[in-house]
Structure 1
Amino acid sequence: MLRPGGRIVLLEVTSARGAITAPLFRFTMRHVAPTVGVLASGRISTFPMMRYWADTIEDAVRPAVIVSALESAGFVGVRHATELGVMSYYRGVSRL
């Protein structure tokens, strides 16, 4: 719960959408990140967990839906921006 005029900020990893970046991102998240996770943790059980994370990123709600949900929930001045094509952040202000 936010006080009136309080700010909300959401951060998430989102799928790359470009013709070149999307396949590269998908490969990195499904193969490189799980391998690095196993090497860093020393546990093979990390691999399927990292694959699951990659799948959840692919299946995530699209930014327009999140913006709409925030506005429907009463937030004003809702903004969405993407950094590096894969990091999204959303911000808004609760109504006064």
Structure 2
Amino acid sequence: MNKVNYVLLVFFVTIFIASCKKDDVSENCYVCSNEVESIDVCEENGDFVIDGEVVENENGASLEDLVRAVEANPENDPRLEGITCTRK
């Protein structure tokens, strides 16, 4: 019975690894947080997805440009005070 369990385990692990795609691990996402909250900021199909809400990227900015602007907080928005972003 142990051989059967081992074979099944190997089979399911192989299927699991084979089913993972490169897109499953998003390289186009950041987690931005401050003392109050944390949000996910991603890029999909040229637009930004901020906490699940699609925001059109009309200027063609990169995700890195958006993250830099959020962290710089040029308009001194109190909601963005002390926010930092890290790649997810």
TM-score normalised over the length of structure 1: 0.29
- RCO comparison, higher one (Cα < 8 Å, 6+): 1
TM-score for the superposition, normalised by structure 2? 0.31
